[in-house]
Amino acid sequence: MIDGVVAIVGRPNVGKSSLFNRIMGDRISIVHEEAGVTRDRLYGATTWLTKNLRFIDTGGIQLEDQNFAEEIQVQVEIAIEEADMVLFVVSAMDGLTNDDQYIARLLRASNKPVIVVANKVDDMQFKADIYEFYALGYEEPIAVSSEHGIGIGDLLDQVIQNLPEEGLKQYNEELSFSVIGRPNVGKSSLVNALLNQDRVIVSDIEGTTRDAIDTPFRYNNQDYVVIDTAGIRKRGKIYEEVEKYSIIRSMAAIERSDVILFLIDGEAGIRAQDKHVVGYAHEAGKPIIIVFNKWDTVDTEETSMDDMRKLIETEFSYLSYAPIVFVSALTKKRVHTILPLVQEVYANSQRRIGTSVINEVIYDAAMLTPPPTRHGKQLKILYASQVSVAPPTFVIFVNDPEIFHFSYKRYLENSLRRAFDFTGTPIHIIVRKRGA
């Protein structure tokens, strides 16, 4: 669970990406002396004082008309909209600028908590230089040096203190699911089709702190919540016309969901961003159902359902466990099959297997296909047990994890899937040395 989302904003070349990389502990974002290198938002998650935080690195905002300036401001505003709080990065070396004052006005309109971060204070004797940033109208700036790691811990302490108390809404009794996919693939139409079925009782409640609407409803004696991932609307303009602007909303929805409906547009076909979005759900260990929408627009004389199924399985080979359904949200054809499947894959993600049964399956698999040998050393599987669910996670103890090849791990995963119904859910296998 993510406890808070923090956007890093500021004008070009103040060290936003360097700060992002320092917090992440890795060079995730591109750093360059030339202003304006970062144009897209970048995302990373980290933990500080038991709080799980996601940070968003954004492009620089400036008054001067530069290439991509409008696009950068749009995606920065989206990041601010999605964030719980903002780190406003300024340069202690450059001092207060007109661009800084312009950004301060933009942030005040957002009504989000803001921490002013005076970067490039490489020597603390220059800390007194940061007080001119009081003119921005915020509390005392925090002096840091992203390059040397100075003040980063104090900054993260302040982030924790300033996070809003309400985090992402979680659901305990209801089965929550979200519909993810690129903009304009029919997410809203599919949600409407699901909610308009017979025997569904719908009531709207206020959703997350990011102004999405989560809709609870009951169907066949099961309580559900469908989590909205529709485009962000601000001042009447839909900003998510550009596909990349939808990623962060999908990420937040995925984290709050028990099951993911991954929607593919039957008219537009499979795009690169489809793999990006659903890849995050796969890495998060969420049960996934692939929903091919607008099947009514496909010429079935040229492309059969089997042909399309094979294409999807090829393009998304890492989702071989995910069932595929072909529907039309417009005509509601086969939409009725989705909710029972949601229940099924959720139940599979919660499945627990007894240790003795697991070991029987693993031993039989090892007898059928013996473990590999490396440098004359034979891999020995000692025993296995399930340690968690959602996703089902198994620990296999061996004599030497170094000779446990990933292909043999995949073989054992397939053996577990043949023995138990894990349709729709990823399963994780952790290899450990006995006694470790």
* Residues of the binding site for GTP: 10-17, 57-61, 119-122, 181-188, 228-232, 293-296
Nearest to 322 by CA among 349, 296, 294: 349
Do 255 and 168 touch, CB atoms closer than 8 A?
Answer: yes
Give the residues across from 48 on adjacent strands.
Answer: 51
Helices (H), 350-423: 355-368, 406-419
Q: Does residue 175 sit in helix, strand or coil? A: strand
Query: Can you tell me the distance from the alpha carbon of 218 to that of 172, in angstroms, rounded to the nearest whole number?
Result: 15
Query: Can you tell me the distance from the alpha carbon of 414 to that of 423, in angstroms, rounded to the nearest whole number?
Result: 11
Q: Which residues are annotated as a binding site?
A: 10-17, 57-61, 119-122, 181-188, 228-232, 293-296
**Which amino acid does the sequence have at 119?**
N
Query: Going by C-beta distance under 8 Å and a sequence separation of 6 or more, which residues neighbour residue 56?
Result: 5, 6, 7, 8, 41, 42, 43, 79, 82, 83, 248
Look at the alpha carbons of 404, 408, 410, 414 in this order and tell me if their dihedral is positive or negative. negative
Tokens of 344: 């099924």
Query: Can you tell me the distance from the alpha carbon of 277 to that of 269, in angstroms, rounded to the nearest whole number?
Result: 15
Do 405 and 368 touch, CB atoms closer than 8 A?
Answer: no
Query: Can you tell me the distance from the alpha carbon of 360 to that of 388, in angstroms, rounded to the nearest whole number?
Result: 19
Concatenate the DSSP letters of all residues of 78-140 into one string: HHHHH-SEEEEEEETTT---HHHHHHHHHHHHHT--EEEEEE---SGGGGGGGGGGGGGSSSP
Classify residue 274 as exposed, middle or buried by CB count within 10 Å of its CB (0-12, 13-18, 19+): buried
